[in-house]
Amino acid sequence: MNKQNARNTVIQLRDWLTREGYSDGYISHFNSTTNQLLKFMDSKGISEFTTMIGFQFLESKYQCELKSEISHLNSGRLRTMQMLSEFQLHGVPLPKARIRTYNIPANFREATERFTAHRRFVGIAERNMSTVSLYLERFFSYLTGQGITKLSEIAVPHIHGFLRFLTGFSNQTKDHTMRTVRQFMGFCYKNGYHTDDLCADIPSVYYEKRSRIPSAYSYDDVMKLLSLVDRNNPVGKRNYAVLMLLTRLGIRCGDICRLKYENIDWERNIISFTQHKTGKPLTLPLLEDVGLAIIDYLKFGRPECDSTNIFIRHRAPITPFIAKSFYTMISSYIGKAGLHTQGKKRGPHALRHSLASRLLEENVPLPVISEILGHSNTNTTAAYLSISVDKLRNCALEV
């Protein structure tokens, strides 16, 4: 693709973003990034755009190194490079996960609705169905770009082409996506939507399921983070209370957001609720410092409103606090605390890992840690063993 074609692609993709209803702010950021990209290409005398050229541009212009932690702004710029590459190769960018309805082409809709109904019937949790819909939407988006309008027209080359289309996603996402496609095509064969059974020709993608060591922070780091919360204002009181629930009890952020007054038994000093992720009940002791933080927020920080949720937004509209806000809040406090974050996550799950690590160091039995964290079995909790350096040191053999 020559430089004029690169500009045409930018214009066409901008028009596509407008038609799809992307916000003015998103398109403004897209324009800013792509204008700088075209200037970079001109200065280097580059005639063709590739994903690698896009990476070189980001590293040169914005010091965005893919091997290190990527800032929020650079993450958006990286997505722009990926969208340009996808649009150039296939005429349509891959849709990304976001809160929305999923656009299933009319010719694929009946089979998709029957397939998702079947998945629900066999026991797939409702929280996972949006992911199934997202993977199928990506699949259909690719097929539409290839001129495929009927399920009966799908062939093995289209399956393999879609896997190449997933370049830029992790191997785990690729594998989960292809597994969904395999299940869908098997359903289509069994129910007469396709004449051939393509399941055996749909590849799996290998990935190490436990290749990454969970991120964790030391007890001193967690205490330093908590000490930086300004508890002299309502927002600080709320943030401190939710951080105490996360760091002291290990409650998932989604469950913290859903906590209601009736979930706390002040006389018995316990917190009881049904976990959103597993659907199983969990009862935890209400530690004194956690209870005091919640009381401080309820008495002196929480705005008056009709919501029965304990934690709410402090800006209009006054609605329940949402889990998405946790990462921004925690990442901000970690930055202010100056914690060592190289190779570590900066979100709420890292603090759950930190609690598990600390409990292991205090010789708390694994089944007890499983109960505290709300895991269904100890195999899930066993993954946290890899973050306890002291425990690993005890396993070392003498040479």
Query: pLDDT by residue (tens digit) across 307-362?
Result: 899 999 887 778 888 877 888 888 888 888 888 777 677 778 888 878 877 777 77
pLDDT in tens, 232-254: 999 999 999 999 998 888 888 88
Going by pLDDT thresholds of 50, 70 and 90, the confidence category of residue 193 is: very high
Strands lying side by side in the sheet with 270-274: 264-265, 270-274, 281-285
d(CA 222, CA 355): 9
- Check pLDDT > 90 for residue 387: no
Say whether 160 is catalytic. Answer: no
Q: Which of the given ranges, 15-29, 116-130, 199-213, 287-301, has the highest pLDDT on average? A: 287-301
Active site residue 29: no
Where do the structural domains in the chain lie, given as residue ranges?
Answer: 3-90, 123-201, 219-394
Q: Report whether 29 contacts 301 (CB < 8 A).
A: no
Q: Which of 87, 61, 78, 79 is nearest to 6 (CA)?
A: 87
Is 190 one of the catalytic residues?
Answer: no
CA distance 248 to 272: 15
At residue 312, what are phi and psi to the nearest 5 degrees?
-135, 165
Q: Which of 3, 118, 349, 391 is catalytic?
A: 349
Which is catalytic among the residues 77, 238, 352, 358?
A: 352
Active site residue 346: no
Tokens of 12: 């066409």
| Average pLDDT of the segment spanning 94-117 | 79
What tokens were used for 163?
A: 């896997």
Question: What pLDDT was estimated at residue 240?
Answer: 95
| DSSP three-state, residue 232 | coil
Instruction: Enumerate the β-bridge partners of residue 260.
Output: 309
The DSSP code for 88 is H
Handedness of CA 327, 328, 332, 333 (dihedral sign): negative
Active site residue 268: no
Measured CA to CA, the distance from residue 399 to residue 397 in angstroms comes to 6
Helix %, strand %, coil % for the chain, to 5? 60, 5, 35
pLDDT tens profile 136-164:
999 998 898 888 999 999 999 999 989 98
Annotated catalytic residue within 39, 96, 268, 277? 277
Is the model's pLDDT at 2 over the cut of 60? no
Residue 72 CB: number of other CB atoms within 10 A?
9
**How much is the pLDDT for 241?**
95
Give the whole-number percent of the chain exceeding pLDDT 90: 34
Of 252, 258, 344, 345, the active-site residue reads 252
Q: Which pLDDT score is estimated for 99?
A: 47
Q: Among 135, 142, 297, 384, which one carries the catalytic annotation?
A: 384
What is the CATH T-level fold of the domain 219-394, as seen in this structure?
Answer: hpI Integrase; Chain A (1.10.443)
Q: How far does Cα 262 stand from its chain's mean position?
A: 30
Question: Rounded to an integer, what distance in angstroms lies between the CA atom of residue 326 and that of residue 256?
Answer: 10
Closest CA to 54 of 12, 4, 95, 6: 6
Query: Which one, of 22, 7, 4, 127, lies nearest residue 79 by Cα?
Result: 22
- Residue scoring higher pLDDT (224 or 398): 224
Amino acid at 379: N
- Structural tokens at position 42: 């001109």
Cβ 348 vs Cβ 326: under 8 Å? yes
| pLDDT value for 381 | 55
Could you confirm whether 353 is annotated as catalytic?
Answer: no
Instruction: State the pLDDT confidence band at 365, using cuts at 50, 70 and 90.
Output: low
State the average pLDDT over residues 30-52. Answer: 86
